[in-house]
Structures are given as C-alpha cells and as structure tokens.
C-alpha cells in the first residue's frame, strides 16, 4: 500500500531541531527555530504563567470538550489584544475570533475558510517569507506568488517594489503581511509606509491576512499591534492570525488565534459559523490548558502587568544581544560592517550568509541557522556569543 511513498524533505526550520539534537558538538548553538532562550540558555517558564497555573492547580478542574471556537474568555482576550478592548470593532461585535493551534493553526483555519469563500483567489507572500507560509497556503489549494520585499544590496525593504507588486495584484488577491518583526528578514516597514500599503490594499480590493506571531518583540505590545488600527481606520475587512507561543513562551501548548474583522455583528456570526466547520472537520476543538492559562493572565490586571514586564525583558535582552553580536563579530575580525543587525527587529537576523556558509556553520562549528541565512538572535547569550561570532568570522 505504501511502497510508492517517497521520503519527504526535512522541514527547513523544525527539521533543524532534529539535526541539532543528534549533534554531539559540545559547543553547539541552536539559532535555527524562532524560540527565545534566556541568558542561561534556558527556555523560560514565565512567572505570570506559573502563577496562573498555580491558581488553576489550587482549584483542579475536569477537562471537558471546549466549544469548537475555544474558551470564550480567551477569544475575548485575543480580540482585546489585537484590536483594543474598547475599540469600535470589538464593541460592535464585528470580530469573529477562534482559538487556534498556535499561529500556524490560525493561518490554516483562515486559509481553508478563504479557499471555500473565494476558490480562484491567488495568495501573495513576501519575498522572502516564513518558510511555512508558502507550504501552508499551497496545501490549502492556493496558487502562491510573492510580492517584492527584501533588498539584499540595500539591506532593507524594497518598498517601491513591494508597492508595485501589490498594485499589480488582481482584485481579491490574498496578501499575507507580517504585522511586525518580519520573519525571516527582521526588517519592518515604517508606520508611514504601512499607510501606503493600507491605501493600496483598499484601492486594489485585496484581502489582507496579517500574521502577527511576534507582537511585543519589536517596539512594544501596542506599538507592534498599531498596524491593525490602520487597517480598521481605512474601513477594511481582513484576517489576523496571532500566537502566544513566543510572547508567553508557551510553544508546546499550541495556543494562538484567528480573528476576522467583518462588516457587522450578523456577518461576524455567519463567518464564525463557517470557521467552526473548518475547525470541527480538522481537529474538532482546541485543547484546554494553554488557552486557559493565557486567558487567566490576560484577564487579571496583576498577571497581565507581570506578563507585559516579562515580555518587555525578553524584548530588551534580544536588542542587547544584537549589539553584542555586532561588537563580537568586529572583535572576531569581521571586516565588513555588520551594523545592519541592530537595524533589524524581533527574533531574527537575516545575516546575508549563503547556504554554503550556513551549512559550514552547522557542520564545522555546530552553529545552526536556516539555509537562507536566518539566525534567531533570541537564542544568543553571554556564554555562546563568542563561539557564534568566531564561527561566523571563520565562514565569512
């Protein structure tokens, strides 16, 4: 029955974890996957999460099925975080939000919903984009193209190219935009440039699908989410996928969401009913624990303040590591100006290293990044940075 099944290639990001786990190099450093590790190289278990879990354990609860769209208090907290609790869309009840299996789950629910709604639509992702965007939308049945984004020579965004690609797109095209902390490049467009993108999306009748997996890792929670308000103010209807994997350090809980902004409450109710069918026919309903923890934190003023503080500390430490990387590379003898690393934002640095250099980094030095040259600077610390800098200097 399965004799004709071919071996699939390893996942370009998560596949690196498997390789890393098998590597016996004592100096190995995993800068492959987008995961934050603290100064001691440990995956943090946030204090706000521990406190919420402790309170939950003091009042143990049985685990019944959740509603198909998840915990209501969680969905409401997501709406508040994404649109603002007192925002007009939330107050008018015109946002349909569902709990999803991480940000990836939110994207997939949205992709399946859009495929049923508009089967002929094309999808545009940024060039380059998170590796899984193309695979996910292709597997949902879409033809996936790209819009210009990264300018390697300039080390930044080819904004004119981006606008031109969007202007050339057919009406109804689904445009996947990174709300903040662009993955993989680390280069975001400015608020003024966002205004222009919003205007083109409106003018051309495009469908924006914002991927906001890194809210809080750029400039702050509100600052990173500000782009959502721009789309709302323009009167657009759109989708947003969100994730608490990184911002709550709850990677394994698969806790994310999909929010769809609709014209009015009746439309949002109808959209929600369709999202529920997508969920029911894929995995029935979401798991309980991660959503309950996030809801407990976001809906409790003290825990929420603690979360904001802890997320802020992660953001500040990543920025400090960017500077240390620039300084360390210089000290290790790298002649070229690596200052661009501090212009980038979020968890990633697009290093400009070639595939061959990335493979050498991995095989000779145990330093893991993706073949495209992406490195997760959120996994650097005082102990591993020297080895990383010397290794990069060696392959450069």
Active-site residue numbers? Answer: 130, 211, 246
Residue 180 within binding range of ligand LMR, rule CB under 6 A: no
Judged by CB, which is closer to ligand LMR: 102, or 366? Answer: 102
Query: Rounded CA gap, 208 and 232, in Å?
Result: 11
Contact 243, 106 (CB under 8 A): yes
| Neighbour tally for 361: CB within 10 Å | 24
Regarding 183 and contact with ligand LMR (CB under 6 A), the answer is yes
Q: Does 377 bind ligand LMR (CB under 6 A)?
A: no
**Residue number with CB closer to ligand LMR (34 or 70):** 34
Q: Which of residues 7-26 bind ligand LMR (CB under 6 A)?
A: 13
256 belongs to the binding site for ligand LMR (CB under 6 A): no
Q: Which of 20, 29, 30, 34 binds ligand LMR (CB under 6 A)?
A: 34
Task: Answer yes or no whether residue 130 interacts with ligand LMR by CB under 6 A.
Answer: yes
361: Cβ contacts below 8 Å, ≥ 6 apart: 353, 367, 368, 369, 391, 392, 395
| 177 near ligand LMR, rule: CB under 6 A | no
CA dihedral 47, 53, 59, 63 (to 10 degrees): 170
Token couple for 254: 């698969």
Nearer to ligand LMR, 16 or 78 (CB): 16
CA 163 distance to own-chain centroid: 22
User: According to the binding rule CB under 6 A, does residue 132 interact with ligand LMR?
Assistant: yes
Distant-in-sequence, close-in-space partners of 154: CB < 8 Å, separation ≥ 6: none
Shortest separation between residue 130's beta carbon and ligand LMR, angstroms: 5
Q: Which residues contact 291 (CB under 8 A, 6 or more apart)?
A: 66, 70, 71, 74, 99, 255
Instruction: Supply 290's token pair.
Output: 């991660």
Least Å distance, CB 35 to ligand LMR, is 7
Nearer to ligand LMR, 34 or 373 (CB): 34
Residue 9 vs 26, nearer CB to ligand LMR: 9
Asked if 89 touches ligand LMR (CB under 6 A), the answer is: no
- Residue 26 token pair: 């004592």
- Collapsing DSSP to helix, strand or coil, 10 comes out as coil
345 binds ligand LMR (CB under 6 A): no
The minimum distance between CB 369 and ligand LMR, in angstroms, equals: 10
Q: Under a CB-based contact definition with an 8 Å cutoff, are residues 351 and 151 in contact?
A: no
Residues that bind ligand LMR (CB under 6 A): 13, 33-34, 104, 130, 132, 183
């Amino acid at each position: 029955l399965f004799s004709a099944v071919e071996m699939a290639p390893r996942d370009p990001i998560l596949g690196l974890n498997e390789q890393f786990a098998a590597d016996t190099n004592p100096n190995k450093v995993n800068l492959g996957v987008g995961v934050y590790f603290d100064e001691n190289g440990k995956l943090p278990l946030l204090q706000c999460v521990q406190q919420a879990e402790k309170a939950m354990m003091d009042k143990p609860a049985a685990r019944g099925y959740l509603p198909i769209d998840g915990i209501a208090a969680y969905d409401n907290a997501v709406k508040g975080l994404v649109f603002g609790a007192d925002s007009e869309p939330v107050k008018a009840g015109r946002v349909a939000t569902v709990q999803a299996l991480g940000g990836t789950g939110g994207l997939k629910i949205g992709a399946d919903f859009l495929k049923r709604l508009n089967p002929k639509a094309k999808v545009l992702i940024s060039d380059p984009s998170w590796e899984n965007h193309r695979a996910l939308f292709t597997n949902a049945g879409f033809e996936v193209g790209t819009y210009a984004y990264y300018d390697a020579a300039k080390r930044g965004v080819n904004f004119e190219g981006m606008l031109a690609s969007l202007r050339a797109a057919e009406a109804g095209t689904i445009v996947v935009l990174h709300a903040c902390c662009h993955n993989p490049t680390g280069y975001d467009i400015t608020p003024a440039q966002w205004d222009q993108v919003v205007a083109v999306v409106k003018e051309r009748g495009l469908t924006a699908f914002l991927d906001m997996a890194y809210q809080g890792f750029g400039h702050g929670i509100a600052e990173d989410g500000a782009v959502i308000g721009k789309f709302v103010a323009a009167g657009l209807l759109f989708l947003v996928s969100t994730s608490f994997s990184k911002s709550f350090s709850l990677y394994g809980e698969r806790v994310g969401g999909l929010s769809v902004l609709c014209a009015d409450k009746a439309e949002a109710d109808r959209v929600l009913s369709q999202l529920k069918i997508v969920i029911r026919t894929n995995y029935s309903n979401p798991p309980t624990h991660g959503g309950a923890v996030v809801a407990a934190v976001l809906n409790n003023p003290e825990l929420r303040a603690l979360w904001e503080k802890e997320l802020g500390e992660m953001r500040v430490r990543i920025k400090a590591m960017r500077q240390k990387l620039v300084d360390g590379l210089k000290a290790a003898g790298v002649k070229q100006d690596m200052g661009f690393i501090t212009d980038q934002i979020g968890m990633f640095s697009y290093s400009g290293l070639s595939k061959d250099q990335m493979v050498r980094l991995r095989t000779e030095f145990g330093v893991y990044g993706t073949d495209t040259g992406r490195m997760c600077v959120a996994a650097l610390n005082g102990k591993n940075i020297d080895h990383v800098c010397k290794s990069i200097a060696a392959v450069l």
